[in-house]
Structure 1
Amino acid sequence: MAFTRATGKHRRPSRMHRTSARAAGVAALATTGVVGTLAAPALAAETSAEQTGLTPVIKIGDSVAEQIDAQADAQREAAQLAAYKKAAEEAARKKAAAEAEEAREKAREAKERAAREAERKRLNSFVAPISGSYVSTGYLAGGGVWSSGSHTGVDFHAASGTTVHAVGSGTVVEAGWGGSYGNQIVIKMHDGTYTQYGHLSSIAVSVGQQVTPGQQIGLSGATGNVTGPHLHFEARTTAEYGSDIDPVTYLRSHGVNV
């Protein structure tokens, strides 16, 4: 047998049609627990069982069905909001982590730049050959004690065994006995000049070795042609004797207070 119904614009769906739709809705919502949240009396009042052939169908009043629909919509909206919130929180976490890593990387780069700059400045700096000392005999001082007739360097007051420092960065070109200079060291500086350290009691570097400002290269003494322990210091334009320049002016031009 076939059933037909009017399809006019303002006709409500037949009871059989609404019942089928509501039954399908209830079946779908039963697994979510929505129906269970309704008050039992209200549900009982507006529902009844009907045997239609082989399949039992539940008839639900319009108000109860609307409540079920509203609850289902609310649950879907809540689930969507929760998903949106979780996604937003995860995006914010990833953004914060990326920004923190970027900040750490910038800090590392800044620290490395500062370290490189500090090292560059240190390698280009100069120090006095004897810490806390003073010049006891000046440059070009006259006297028969010097074979040239005048002093080719300056003498720094120092007891035997006092630490002698390289005044700047350079390469050792001589390290050993130097005749009237006794035990001596000659260093080619990074700026192309040379410095000499004489009358040492011991030598702590070797030819070809790289040295840095303030590095210990030996100990002061009284070897060679001397009248007592001290450090003879020269500044030269070459490694050879006779190319000397004023050591005090040389050190001061490199920022050393002597």
Structure 2
Amino acid sequence: MAFTRPTGKHRRARSASIPAGAQLAGVATIAASGVASLAGPAFAAPDGAPRFQDTGLNQTIVVGDHVADGIDAQAASQEQAEAQEEAQEQARQDAAREAAATKRRAEAAEKKAKAEREARLRAAREAERKRLNTFVMPVAGSYVSTQYHASSGLWSSGSHTGIDFHAASGTPVHSVGSGTVVEAGWGGAYGNNVVIKMNDGTYTQYGHLSSLSVSVGQTVTPGQQIGLSGSSGNSTGPHLHFEARTGAEYGSDIDPISYLRSHGVKI
């Protein structure tokens, strides 16, 4: 009996060759399916809650959110620190401006106060200058009882070299202006007398005083008391004998009334 050889078309089919990469992918797919199956019950969403597909990247997303939150917090903290620093700088600038404004106000107030003080001093000096240049009556509220150059045998020259002011004994007698005392004491017929060299170079004399209040070399001002009236020396009764002179010597007398009026005294 003859046997025939099988042809190729009757050969047993060869098993297909699977690439290694495909095998690994399959294993990964199986592993992933297994993990998903095992993890499914533990991470099952509550009834009605939205479900998400577990792709194996969820853990990575969670970590990324945490880092992002940290970055946001750090940025917020930095912004807050910058805001605080800006606020502090603004406060420092405001304080500096306020301090500068306060200093300017203080300087302005001091300048104003200084100007006012200087104005008061000028006014006081001017008032003092006027006062020192002012002439007054030798006896306040009095009147002339004997005129200048009145004729009588009571006077050695034959006429009155001054004027007499009515004054009871003990009445205050004042310097008519500013000057320096050049004589204070007994003056013969004038009794107790005071002679003052006035600041304008003229001289005034006050006679028949009961007492003296000044001494030689003393400076006096208008209205300053120099003694008390009386009747010392060649006198018929209490009064003040007043003379105005161009010099200290007897005989240089000038009209006392004209003298006082020329210096603003109403007499």
How does the TM-score come out when normalised to structure 2? 0.72
Offset at residue 73 of structure 1 (A): 3.8
Q: Does residue 200 of the first structure (1) align with residue 209 of the second (2)? A: yes
Q: Deviations over 1:168-217 (max 9, x none)?
A: 11111111111111111111111000000011111111111111111111
Q: Does residue 129 of the first structure (1) align with residue 138 of the second (2)? A: yes
Offset at residue 64 of structure 1 (A): 5.3
Q: Which residue number in structure 2 is paired with residue 24 of structure 1?
A: none
Secondary structure in 1 aligned to 2:195?
A: strand
Offset at residue 76 of structure 1 (A): 3.0
Q: Which residue number in structure 1 is paired with residue 6 of structure 2?
A: none
Distance 1:65 1:146, change over 3 A: same
Q: Does residue 223 of the first structure (1) align with residue 261 of the second (2)? A: no
Secondary structure in 1 aligned to 2:264?
A: coil
Question: Which of 97, 108, 119 pairs up with 2:106?
Answer: 97
Secondary structure in 2 aligned to 1:60?
A: helix
Question: Which of 109, 120, 127 pairs up with 2:129?
Answer: 120
Secondary structure in 1 aligned to 2:97?
A: helix
In structure 1, what is the Cα distance between the partners aligned to 2:246 and 2:232? 25
In structure 1, what is the Cα distance between the partners aligned to 2:64 and 2:223? 99
Distance 1:229 1:65, change over 3 A: same
In structure 2, what is the Cα distance between the partners aligned to 1:63 and 1:204? 99
In structure 2, what is the Cα distance between the partners aligned to 1:66 and 1:220? 102
* Letter paired with 1:189: M
The alignment of Structure 1 onto Structure 2 pairs a total of residues equal to 206
Distance 1:71 1:190, change over 3 A: same
Q: Deviations over 1:92-145 (max 9, x none)?
A: 111111111212222221222222221111111111100000001111111111
| Runs of at least 4 residues off by over 3 Å | 44-47, 61-73
In structure 2, what is the Cα distance between the partners aligned to 1:45 and 1:199? 124
Equivalent residue runs for 1:18-57 within 5 Å: 48=66
Q: Does residue 109 of the first structure (1) align with residue 125 of the second (2)? A: no
Q: Which residue number in structure 1 is paired with residue 161 of structure 2?
A: 152
Which runs of 5 or more residues in structure 1 are unaligned? 1-43, 49-57
Q: Contact 1:175/1:207 (CA < 8 Å) preserved in 2?
A: yes
Secondary structure in 2 aligned to 1:198?
A: strand
**Structure with the bigger percentage of strand:** 1
In structure 2, what is the Cα distance between the partners aligned to 1:141 and 1:45? 132
How does the TM-score come out when normalised to structure 1? 0.74
Distance 1:45 1:210, change over 3 A: farther
In structure 1, what is the Cα distance between the partners aligned to 2:72 and 2:196? 103
Secondary structure in 1 aligned to 2:196?
A: strand
In structure 1, what is the Cα distance between the partners aligned to 2:92 and 2:225? 68
Secondary structure in 1 aligned to 2:114?
A: helix
Q: Which residue number in structure 1 is paired with residue 23 of structure 2?
A: none
Q: Which residue number in structure 1 is paired with residue 150 of structure 2?
A: 141
